[in-house]
Amino acid sequence: MSLRHSYTVIAPIYDALLAAAGTGVRATSLAQLPQQGDLNILISGIGSGLDLPYLPSCHRYTGLDLTAAMLSRVKPRIGNLHVDLVQGDSMSLPFADAYFDHVVLHLILAIVPDATACLRETARVLKPGGSVLILDKFLKPGETAWLRRTLNLLSQHLVTRLDVVFEEVLASVPQLKLEADVPALASGWFRSIRLAKD
């Protein structure tokens, strides 16, 4: 089953699965965005728009998702925000180089089949000096995690990967530098990470 098909199918129940669990960590991550100005910000993998209530209203946002089913669920949440919705692939972004001031990657790096391609594309469309806010589940370097790795054999084809080691992904994108990395949920399995582009 393709990722596009899976997320089209689960779109109606996506909020019920994720809304309550991630509320606090989403808000904390997004509080790192500048609270004033008029910046151009990409939310890559916007899903059903669960990030929208925590975004500063002063900026311009582009919300990208793979499926029309998810994007249709974003529209009622837009409210006063300036959000343009784009159907597209986080691993092959349809935007010019250095187009965005900041990029949000909440629950997307461990979902896409190729996390390195996703982060490379993020770096490409990010302006120098911009930041990337990441919230996702990652294995630690050298972590055995046999249960997660076993479950990954199925889950990677349906909804998410459970075997992504963030440090390995970041090592392939040298123009992005780690600024912060803190445990967020599930005893540090989920992490809140901030990167900056040289």
pLDDT tens-digit series, residues 80-134: 999 999 999 999 999 999 999 999 999 999 889 899 999 999 999 999 999 999 9
Q: How far is CA 136 from the centre of its chain?
A: 7
What is the CB neighbour count within 10 angstroms for residue 160?
A: 18
Global pTM?
Answer: 0.84
What class is the 3-197 domain? Answer: alpha beta
pLDDT tens-digit series, residues 166-192: 999 999 999 999 999 999 876 767 899
181: its two tokens: 């990395």
pLDDT tens-digit series, residues 5-20: 454 545 454 555 555 5
Residue % of the chain over a pLDDT of 90: 65
Following DSSP, what letter does each residue of 128-172 receive, concatenated?
A: EEEEEEEEEE-BPTT---HHHHHHHHHHHHHT--S--BHHHHHHT
